[in-house]
Amino acid sequence: MSTAKYLTGDSTAINEFLDKFDVFLFDCDGVLWSGDTVFEGVPETLNLLRTKGKKVVFVTNNSTKSRQDYVKKLAGLGISADTDDVFGSAYSSAIYISRILELPPNKRKVFVLGEAGIETELRSENVPFIGGTDPSLRRDMTPEDYQALADGSALDPEVGVVLVGLDFHINYLKLATAFQYIRRGAIFYATNIDSTLPNARSFFPGAGSIVAPLALMTGQQPTSFGKPSSAMMAAIKGKFELDRARTCMVGDRLNTDIQFGIDGGLGGTLAVLTGVNKKEDWEVEGAKVVPGYYVDRLSDLRSAT
Amino acid sequence: MSTAKYLTGDSTAINEFLDKFDVFLFDCDGVLWSGDTVFEGVPETLNLLRTKGKKVVFVTNNSTKSRQDYVKKLAGLGISADTDDVFGSAYSSAIYISRILELPPNKRKVFVLGEAGIETELRSENVPFIGGTDPSLRRDMTPEDYQALADGSALDPEVGVVLVGLDFHINYLKLATAFQYIRRGAIFYATNIDSTLPNARSFFPGAGSIVAPLALMTGQQPTSFGKPSSAMMAAIKGKFELDRARTCMVGDRLNTDIQFGIDGGLGGTLAVLTGVNKKEDWEVEGAKVVPGYYVDRLSDLRSAT
């Protein structure tokens, strides 16, 4: 069994660790901040890495925000970033659909279950879409809706993809509509499948909770473009031309962040203990996912010399 | 492998079949009607059974309607019935919660995700509840909701059960609220877990689609009180003092209706081909659920002498 090397308080080990990597991929929630509160010393730690010539990339599964929204959030917490430094599951999905997926010319529209972040990213890649935040879908079903969904007259024949992310305005009409598209052959994609979303020191329904009804009804599991999917890693690698061996994933969740780094063949993974998982979670007999390194908190890296 | 005996057109076999049973439990949708259209000859067939002294019971998984609602629907289709002839998953749930489940005195309230049918049945059993069709839950989440759900101030401390059925008004606030109750220890029940609901000759999200997000988030599968659960059979048996050997389940779905009859140890099961399953579904090598008898349509039983 592999073991995780503990770096907190060990300047020599931290120096050796930092020397191994040129690029650091950061999960955000639980690593940099919790909700709207940035962890102490995080902006300074990111500055230190940049001073040492490291590339810093923010990798998030939250598809309700676009890259621009994240740049604003980072700035508000004292962390400077460009849009190109941010990689979200909405963007990852949009890139895949526009650049890799080959759809027939008459099936290029995406039906979106989700929020504005997905719409912004699809728009930035010139992918046509319907649904999403369209206010005409935020209402109860009528008897006419049942008929028009069943006979297909309420459906857009050009929809070839259903893309599902976290939708704070989920309702029966949207679920029924997405289901009809998938059962008529639309490809079923998810921005990510996290069951919950942390907020206010608790947990709330995540994108996986919007995916779950459709997976049950259709008997299909969607391809997901969030961590730990290989599609997300392929999209990041395509964009940044990463040397995987010189790249390290930093995160708080074993089953998304650390798994993502390991499955993606990165040179290293660094776990922080400020989020979901604790060291007891990988220090058990038969632990499936073990990080390469860990620190109590990200700012412990500041003892580098 | 057992085989199903085909009764259509065989008066002798139908007479022998009818002589074996005193009670017939009928699934409704796909057996008696589709949507709002009754199948030809069904009222006459039910009258024939009653003339022969058979007890006829209607057993439905649809929890959006109460027993009274079903009596009205049956009457509208030309089938007379009393409330006591109807057994629905909402009623089955209410009976279990009121008569079998032993809750601490300060944990007796039920948080309902569902429609008026569940509320009517809980009320008939004097079970206190909140949620359901309460219009104050039919709205978007606010930042205050996140805080109040996370710190528990929005939660009723007397809620000891979350009961989930089909909710045509499902939304993020309701899912988040139900999740908070379950993660704080409330018992997780479902009226039924059908993934879809037939309507307008197509399929729409069923109760299982409302259950799925909560099952994913909590990591728990709820106890279900619909077919094919043993809880439904126990409740029916308790109410009617059935002789199981002299009771036959009639239905169109192998994995709910016929399974329900077999698991419940009934003397017989009769499949009809007017709904979901076809005879090819059980006439395959290794079929798991095989009915005892089948007819093309229920009204074929009228050739009894």
Let me know whether B40 and B21 are in one domain: yes
Confidence of residue B35 (pLDDT cuts 50, 70, 90): confident
The answer to whether the CB of B97 falls within 8 A of the CB of B122 is: yes
The answer on pLDDT for B286 being more than 70 is: yes
Let me know whether A262 and A195 are in one domain: no
The answer on pLDDT for A231 being more than 60 is: yes
Let me know whether A210 and A232 are in one domain: no
Distance separating alpha carbons of residues B1 and B35, to the nearest angstrom? 35
Report the mean per-residue pLDDT for chain A.
95
Q: Which of A195, A224, A253 is the last residue of a domain?
A: A224
- Residue A268: enclosing H or E segment and its boundaries? strand A268-272
Identify the CA nearest to B111 among candidates B96, B91, B97.
B97
* Min Cα separation B142/chain A (Å): 10
DSSP code at position A144: H
Any catalytic annotation for residue B300?
A: no
Chain B residues 157-176 within an 8 A CB cutoff of chain A: 167-172, 175-176
Identify residue A145 by its one-letter amino acid code: D
> Which regions of chain B does DSSP assign to beta strands (E)?
5-6, 23-26, 33-34, 37-38, 55-60, 86-88, 109-113, 129-131, 159-164, 187-190, 196-199, 202-205, 223-224, 247-251, 268-272, 293-295
Q: What's the rounded mean pLDDT across residues B10-36? A: 94
Q: What's the rounded mean pLDDT across residues A13-27? A: 97
Residue B300 is assigned to a ligand binding site: no
Percent of chain A with pLDDT over 70: 100
Residue of B nearest to A193 (CA): B216
Q: What's the rounded mean pLDDT across residues A106-110? A: 97
SS3 call for A289: coil
Q: What's the rounded mean pLDDT across residues A276-291? A: 93
Distance separating alpha carbons of residues A55 and A60, to the nearest angstrom? 16
Looking up residue B160, the CATH number of its domain turns out to be 3.40.50.1000
The answer to whether the CB of A274 falls within 8 A of the CB of A39 is: yes
DSSP code at position B29: B
Q: Does B83 touch chain A (CB under 8 A)?
A: no
Q: Which of B203, B224, B245 is the last residue of a domain?
A: B224
Taking only the tens place, the pLDDT of each residue in B48-83 is 999 999 999 999 999 999 999 999 999 999 999 999
Let me know whether B196 and B266 are in one domain: no
Let me know whether A119 and A156 are in one domain: yes
Cβ density class B77-100: b for 16+ within 10 Å, e for less = bebebeeebbbbbbbbbbbbbbee
- For an interface test with A, the pick among B140, B204, B210, B218 (most A C-beta atoms closer than 10 Å) comes out as B204
Cβ neighbours of residue B84 closer than 8 Å, sequence gap 6 or more:
none
Q: What pLDDT was estimated at residue B1?
A: 53
Q: What pLDDT was estimated at residue A1?
A: 53
The answer on pLDDT for A250 being more than 80 is: yes
* Min Cα separation B26/chain A (Å): 25
Complex ipTM over 0.85: yes
**Tally of domains in chain A:** 2
Q: What's the rounded mean pLDDT across residues B169-175? A: 98
Nearest neighbour of A205 by CB, restricted to B201, B206, B213: B213
The answer on pLDDT for B14 being more than 90 is: yes
Distance separating alpha carbons of residues B55 and B72, to the nearest angstrom? 19
Distance separating alpha carbons of residues B267 and B252, to the nearest angstrom? 18
Let me know whether A209 and A251 are in one domain: no
* Min Cα separation B201/chain A (Å): 7
Phi, psi for B194 (deg, rounded to 5)? -60, 130
- Within a domain: residue B13? yes
Domain housing A202: 105-224
Taking only the tens place, the pLDDT of each residue in B195-237 is 999 888 899 999 999 999 999 999 999 999 999 998 889 888 8
Report the range of poorest mean pLDDT among A7-21, A224-238, B3-17, B241-255.
Answer: A224-238
Q: Which of A192, A224, A256 is the last residue of a domain?
A: A224
SS3 call for B264: coil
Contacts with B172 from chain A: Cβ below 8 Å: 167-170, 205
Q: What pLDDT was estimated at residue B237?
A: 86
Other Cβ atoms less than 10 A from the Cβ of A151: the count is 12
The answer to whether the CB of A58 falls within 8 A of the CB of A28 is: yes
